[in-house]
Amino acid sequence: MNEATRSRIDRVRTALAARLSVDAASLTPLTDTGLAHDHIVIGETGTLARIPKQSQLDLGADENLAYQAACFARAGASGHVPRLHDVLESDEALPMGALIVDRIEGRPLRLPDDLTAMAACLAAIHTLPLEEDRAPLKNPPDALADTFTEILLQSAFIARAGLHPESEAQIRAELQAAGRTLAQSGRPMTTLIAFDAHPGNYLMDENGRAILVDLEKARYGAPGFDLAHASLYTSTTWDVESRAVLSHGQVRDFHEAWLAAVSAELTEATAPWLMPLRQMMWLWSVTWCAKWKVQSLEDAGASSSTENWSAELSDDALIAHVADRVADYLNPETIAQVRTDWAETDATILSASA
């Protein structure tokens, strides 16, 4: 842990101890493994504090807390997410506030063995009844257009990211293809989705259930985005402890496990969109990588935005890991290999039967 991280964690522990009326010595920080939050175990209570370093949705501190609290509350009925216990509003000592949630005792996913458990977790979330009032979660009238807009905003960083010309050319070709996807008639069925379903965000509990522990970006949209984010190369190789490279057959098996766990109506509405949304979710990931390359070098205090990817906010080891992953994902050979997922010759391998 570098000095800046140690100093930040010490301040957070002191602030939490005061807010929770506990001894700071009982608060144990977990290893810094995420760019958006610090996590601190609260004694023997079975809970931990999620302390935002930033808002990935560029929301104000209290709005961000309310959004994240709603993510946990909405997905709670699935039985596959930590329970929300409390919301600590922002103040001078905790400028982004904190959420108190269950501490999940478990192990990282082991892929491909835990693919079925991950599919069951996502199916449980995707089949929850939809609320009439869906605020404050994002609920766009067209989830594909909304996600493509996010992709385009992130793609504005490509020119400054110093990409290999072949990488840039391939990404821009896929951007054009994704634009054509939007012109297709019809849309997937809307469900609650996590929109951050990569395998590093799960733990396997003692009952063999996959628990999705990170829900800050949940929204209403197409479940195919989650299925893609759970199984793309850019997701399965992100986290060191759950790292795996899935074969086309293993991705197909994952799709089929999810399709078998949901209703016939949701199966029929989702199966045709598996490949188009896989392509679009990959574009979201690689354009985010370009954005991170640019913004990670910026001064943490220079921006007025609450979305802040500055390397100053995280430990050196974490930043080195992210930089390594970003370099791989933006490598032209990696991009060419990932694109075979939805190439015409391979799409039938990955697509599960309706």
In this prediction, residue 75 carries a pLDDT of: 98
In this prediction, residue 34 carries a pLDDT of: 87
Which tokens sit at 17?
């101890």
Q: Which residues contact 312 (CB under 8 A, 6 or more apart)?
A: 4, 299, 300
In this prediction, residue 303 carries a pLDDT of: 72
* ω into 136 cis (within 30 of 0): yes
In this prediction, residue 85 carries a pLDDT of: 98
* Cα separations in angstroms, 199 against 232, 233, 250, 323: 10, 11, 14, 19
Are β-strands 98-102 and 210-212 bridged in parallel, bridged antiparallel, or unpaired? unpaired
Spans in the chain with pLDDT lower than 70:
344-349, 351-354
In this prediction, residue 322 carries a pLDDT of: 95
CA–CA separation, 115 and 123 (whole Å): 12
In this prediction, residue 33 carries a pLDDT of: 85
How many other C-beta atoms can be found within 10 angstroms of the C-beta atom of residue 346?
14
In this prediction, residue 347 carries a pLDDT of: 57
Amino acid making up residue 244: A
In this prediction, residue 354 carries a pLDDT of: 46
Q: Which domains does the chain have, with CATH numbers?
A: 3-102 (3.30.200.20), 115-350 (3.90.1200.10)
CA dihedral 8→13→14→15, nearest 10 degrees, is 90
* ω into 223 cis (within 30 of 0): no
Question: What is the DSSP annotation of 91-124?
Answer: -SSSTT-EEEEEPP--B---TTTTHHHHHHHHHH
pTM of full prediction above 0.75:
yes
Q: Are 248 and 350 in contact (CB under 8 A)?
A: yes
> H or E stretch including 86?
strand 84-88
In this prediction, residue 230 carries a pLDDT of: 98
Among 259, 316, 293, residue whose Cα is nearest residue 123: 259
In this prediction, residue 345 carries a pLDDT of: 47
Which tokens sit at 148?
């493509």
- CA atoms in the 13 A half-sphere facing the CB of 143: 26
What end-to-end distance do the CA atoms of the chain give, in Å? 49
Residue with tokens 């996913």: 109
